Structure 1
Amino acid sequence: MIFDEFSIKSLIRPVPDFPKPGVIFRDITPLFQSPRALRMVADSFIQRYVETEFTHVGAMDARGFLIGSIIAYALNKPLILFRKQGKLPADVLAEGYQTEYGEAFLEVHADSLCEGDSILMFDDLIATGGTLLAAASLVRRMGASIFEAAAIIDLPELGGSQRLQDIGIPTFCLTTFALSDR
């Protein structure tokens, strides 16, 4: 199946003024309601990473879980969950970060990765990069490295992809939206 950025992009619903006035939320729910679109998204990532060298797939809470779990399954890699504060039951490492809307904490099980591991990180979109930057800090605290940060959507005007690249983390996104795109 050939990836069609325009059909994928057309299935990402803009929701004005959510979660606060002035923000256009990029809702990926319609992508998951279309089996064809979900297959195109998943297959695009699988084809990109099938012959690459990393040991784990990391998925960001919560929408990153949707695509990250599919990719981990397809590539036969362990899945590491990066969760919002208070959601993991065992010993955790935590990292605070800034979001577009305020402050938050990201946690991961402290025994998720070991020195020498390499992780491909997934989220639904890259905005300011806060979540992925926090995850990268947690990964590095465990002695592992980041292979790449991937997402369905990039919002380049918010600078997250650039922040990740500035600290040596390559990024890959299937599509981009300008802040003015409705």
Structure 2
Amino acid sequence: MCLSHSARVTLHHIEARRSIRSFTDRPVSQEDLLTVLRAANQAPSAHNQQSWRFSVLRGKRKQELATLVNARAGEFPRAAAVLLRMAARSINSAPVVVVVANTGALIDHGTKLFQIDKPLAQDFFKTMEIQSSAAAIQNLLVAATSLGLATVWLGILFLIKDDVLRLMGEREGEFMAVIPVGYEAKPGIAPKKIDFEMMVSWLD
């Protein structure tokens, strides 16, 4: 199959993306930040609700988040505590951090729109909202890679999601990720992937 140049470039950036946990102190330009956020906002979303919010943290607010994560880490069993402290170090070292939170708008919209059992509707649209925000995050990660930026999706902070949301000034509710953004301090190592053929079933 012959791929166009733009297709090859896009696939290259998808394959080149790495989770980077330590960053240099080189600042990220406002232009690059806006580019990755616009890419995130172009993600598909159920009922086109775009029920996500992006909080961009630098300086004092970024430090407050790192301090919060470190303070809460000791309340968890060892494995979780280690990951939380690693996350705090990544937040500290990155020049900028993007926090992605779900707004609940799709859950409210869908539950009113579909006249079905309310708990079922809420579960259904909660899942769709999570799927939508995850797509936005993936767009952000790939766009950052295309600009030479490094990122990591810190999902472990879900353990303290309500505290994170309060720090952002968001209402308590669903939460997706904290993403440090910057320039890698050292190259990431490509993880070994499961053989592609083992992941696909062809059904006629």
* TM-score computed with the length of structure 2 as normaliser: 0.30
* TM-score computed with the length of structure 1 as normaliser: 0.32
RCO (CA 8 Å, sep 6+): is it higher in 1 or 2? 2
Query: Whose Rg is larger?
Result: 2
Which one has the bigger strand percentage?
Answer: 1
Which one has the bigger helix percentage?
Answer: 2
